[in-house]
Amino acid sequence: MKYLRTIPLLVAVLTAASLFVACGGDDEEGGGNGGEATTRAASSPTGGAGGDTVELELVAENTSYDPTELTAPAGADVTIVFDNDDPDLQHNMSLYETEESTDPLFEGEIITGVDTINYELKAGEDLPDEPGTYHYHCDIHPTQMTGDFIVE
């Protein structure tokens, strides 16, 4: 009979433990990072002009970019995972030789609202092979949303 009294306690402990484990991580919406934007840069060989493709993440949120500086090695193709986190607002990312340039080296498709698109930049075509600092901005908000793209 002694053991029958411990069953409700055991059930309560197991229930609490299972809830703790189930709520421990959040890989869905919100990402578990308190709503802060994240930046991801990874390099993996996939056969671009320089033999590598670099993946970078760029987030548009509150009519600003995060990060405001992207870096890639010279000669590498680049995939930019572009996340628009502004509901009902249009954003994109276009790359220019300088801040004063009007002719884009690369012009990303404009997306509206919360959405994600991958921009594929080819070394020597959309992306300069020459090391240097280039300029990117949103074509909808060119003075508010700007950044530097560094080719090393």
Q: For the chain (length 152 residues), average pLDDT per consecutive 10?
A: 51 43 40 35 42 92 98 97 97 97 97 97 94 98 98 96
- Is 0.85 topped by the overall pTM? no
The separation between CA 87 and the C-alpha centre of its own chain, rounded to angstroms, equals 16
Q: What is the pLDDT of residue 50?
A: 52
Domain 41-151 has CATH 2.60.40.420: yes
pLDDT by residue (tens digit) across 69-105? Answer: 999 999 999 999 999 999 999 999 999 999 999 999 9
Q: What is the pLDDT of residue 7?
A: 52
Buried/exposed code over 89-103 (b: 16+ C-beta within 10 A; e: otherwise): bebbbbbbeeeeeee
Q: What is the pLDDT of residue 13?
A: 45
Cα 123 from Cα 121, distance rounded (Å): 7
Q: What is the pLDDT of residue 11?
A: 46
CB 114 within 8 A of CB 35: no
- Beta-carbon count within 10 A of 74 CB: 16
Q: What is the pLDDT of residue 53?
A: 94
